[in-house]
């Protein structure tokens, strides 16, 4: 599990839990190049993803609603050039507060004395799931991939010769 403190100065991906009043609370996170570099995933070369977070807290539960919007930089499987892949995804993570773990594995439990909730690893995991199995430049209006043609020609040559 990676935490905000490991990411360093730019990264603050935590929700304060101690003293948080019941009701809705909003936070804004930004996943930048430094964030993605930290995880050293060769499939993600960088990115700029905004995460709008809404936390709904009650006396014994907490739900984090996460709205991701932005791009990550990945490299095309066909022409090998980098391109920006759009990320637009919504997730919610439910927690119970201060109760013994239930039989429901989907719900995590936050102990009563939790000071802050670190979402670093969760944010990363959600973005990783958005990476397509086949990574390719988006298609233009006529349905042709917007790949780097010079690079494609070079690769073709290289493969044939």
State the minimum distance, in angstroms, from the CB of residue 79 to Zn ion: 3
| Closer CB to Zn ion, 6 or 153, in the complex | 153
Residues that bind Zn ion (CB under 5 A): 76, 78-79, 137, 147
| Closer CB to Zn ion, 17 or 76, in the complex | 76
Could you tell me which residues come within 8 angstroms of residue 52 by beta carbon, excluding any fewer than 6 positions away?
Answer: 26, 27, 28, 66, 67, 69
State the minimum distance, in angstroms, from the CB of residue 68 to Zn ion: 24
State the minimum distance, in angstroms, from the CB of residue 144 to Zn ion: 11
Element (H, E) at 155: helix 149-160
- 3-class secondary structure for 53-102? EEEEECCCEEEEEEEEEEEEEEECCCCCCEEEEEEEEEEEEEEEECCCCC
| Closer CB to Zn ion, 46 or 94, in the complex | 46
């Amino acid at each position: 599990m990676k935490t905000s403190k490991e990411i360093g100065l730019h990264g603050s991906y935590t929700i304060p839990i101690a003293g948080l009043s019941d009701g809705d609370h909003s936070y804004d996170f930004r996943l930048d190049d430094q964030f993605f570099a930290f995880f050293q995933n060769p499939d993600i070369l960088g990115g700029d993803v905004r995460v709008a977070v809404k936390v709904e807290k009650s006396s014994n539960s907490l739900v984090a609603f996460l709205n991701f919007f932005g791009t990550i930089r990945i490299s095309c499987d066909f022409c090998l050039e980098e391109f920006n892949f759009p990320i637009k995804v919504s997730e919610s993570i439910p927690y119970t507060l201060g109760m013994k773990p239930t039989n429901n594995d989907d719900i995590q439990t936050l102990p009563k004395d939790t000071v802050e909730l670190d979402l670093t690893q969760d944010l990363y995991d959600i973005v990783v799931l958005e990476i397509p199995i086949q990574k390719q430049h988006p298609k233009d209006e006529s349905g042709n991939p917007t790949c780097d043609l010079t690079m494609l020609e070079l690769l073709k040559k290289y493969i044939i010769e």
